[in-house]
């Protein structure tokens, strides 16, 4: 397992931030990873996938150093101006490009221009943007067909949840239908500065090839409708996108062997996908 070089500035985030006149910004959900063992494990997972790498939120560069350690090209996108300036100086002359921007705000066309042959996404995602970042990666699955992500433990549980539990929801269905998503290992809160109130977990995502946008749109339509009134029966779902309304919706459910009196959390990803395939062409488009 690779280990960070001794004396890396990311080993002591408190001291490094103080020397830069910076501090962790709660508004950005900044918690800086400093545990060398965890850093090595995350980068080992990333290196099991091919470069180049997109690092979302590099912070002080704890992961960045190892990601680029063998000359692999890394694009690190950092929204914090002070950290971006520090990283540019720290990695000047190497295979790391620092982009000062918000990952969520960069257009699809720009990502395709930067990574015409695809890339592996890596990142420690703050809780406040986790759902949005996952949805963005789903949208960009052809550009980033692989991802190694650290998230709050609760979010990781939601993403990897099976039908029937309280954690199972819209994102669980999407990732199960679109990818192989694996929870790899847990990360304790003491591995960060400042220490967050919850533990974290690392997941890997491998998106399946050839999942057309039209089918994704259909899947999103039926899943959002099903979970819109989570505590109510599926027959009460808002299905204004269907020409035949509730009657057509219930017929679709029955055709898949789903009782309209069921609730969304009991329906498997495979059944949601089958429902999506039954949507009329006019709805899918």
Q: Do domains 9-207 and 213-284 have the same CATH topology?
A: no
Range 72-81, long-range pairs (CB < 8 A, 24+ positions): 72/47, 73/97, 75/99, 75/114, 75/115, 75/119, 77/101, 77/102, 77/103, 77/106, 79/28, 79/103, 80/25, 80/28, 80/30
Determine the average pLDDT of the residues in 206-233: 95
Q: What is the DSSP letter of 132?
A: H
pLDDT band, very low/low/confident/very high, at 283 (cuts 50, 70, 90): low
pLDDT band, very low/low/confident/very high, at 180 (cuts 50, 70, 90): very high
236-to-163, 182, 272, 277 alpha-carbon distances in Å: 20, 33, 16, 21
115-131 confidence digits (pLDDT tens): 999 999 999 998 889 99
Topology annotation, domain 213-284: Helicase, Ruva Protein; domain 3 (1.10.8)
Parse the chain into domains and list their residue ranges: 9-207, 213-284
Among 22-31, 79-88, 148-157, the minimum mean pLDDT is found in: 22-31
pLDDT band, very low/low/confident/very high, at 281 (cuts 50, 70, 90): low
Q: Contact, 150 vs 200, CB < 8 A?
A: yes
Q: How far apart are CA 59 and CA 64, in angstroms?
A: 9
Task: Judge if pTM exceeds 0.75.
Answer: yes
Q: What 3-state DSSP class applies to 146?
A: strand
Average pLDDT, rounded, for the chain? 92
Q: Contact, 78 vs 55, CB < 8 A?
A: no
Q: What are 222's two structure tokens?
A: 């039926």
Q: What percent of the chain has pLDDT over 90?
A: 83
- What is the CATH number that goes with domain 9-207? 3.40.50.150
Q: Do strands 96-100 and 120-124 pair parallel, antiparallel, or not at all (unpaired)?
A: unpaired
Among 16-20, 196-200, 278-282, the minimum mean pLDDT is found in: 278-282
Q: Is the pLDDT of residue 73 over 50?
A: yes
Q: How far apart are CA 227 and CA 137, in angstroms?
A: 21
């Amino acid at each position: 397992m690779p280990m960070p070089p001794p004396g890396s500035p990311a080993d002591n985030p408190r001291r490094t931030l103080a020397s830069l006149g910076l501090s962790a910004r709660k508004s950005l959900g900044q918690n800086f990873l400093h545990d060398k063992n965890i850093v090595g494990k995350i980068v080992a997972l990333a290196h099991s996938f091919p470069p180049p790498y997109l690092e979302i939120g590099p912070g002080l560069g704890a992961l960045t150093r190892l990601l680029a350690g063998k000359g692999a090209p890394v694009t690190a996108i950092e929204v914090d101006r002070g950290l971006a300036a520090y990283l540019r100086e720290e990695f000047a002359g190497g295979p790391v490009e620092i982009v000062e921007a918000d990952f969520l705000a960069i257009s699809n066309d720009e990502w395709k221009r930067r990574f015409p042959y695809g890339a592996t996404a890596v990142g420690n995602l703050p809780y406040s943007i986790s759902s949005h970042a996952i949805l963005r990666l789903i949208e960009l699955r052809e550009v980033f067909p692989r991802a190694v992500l650290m998230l709050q433990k609760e979010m990781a549980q939601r993403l990897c949840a099976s039908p029937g539990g309280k954690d199972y929801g819209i994102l669980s269905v999407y990732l199960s239908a679109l990818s192989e998503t694996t929870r790899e290992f847990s990360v304790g809160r003491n591995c960060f500065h400042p220490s967050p109130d919850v533990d974290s977990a690392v997941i890997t995502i491998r998106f399946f090839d050839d999942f057309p946008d039209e089918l994704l749109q259909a899947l999103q339509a039926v899943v959002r409708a099903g979970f819109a009134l989570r505590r109510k029966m599926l027959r009460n779902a808002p299905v204004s996108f269907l020409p035949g309304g509730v009657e057509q919706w219930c017929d679709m459910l029955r055709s898949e062997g789903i009782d309209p009196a069921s609730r969304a959390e009991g329906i498997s990803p495979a059944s949601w996908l089958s429902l999506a395939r039954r949507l009329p062409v006019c709805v899918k488009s």
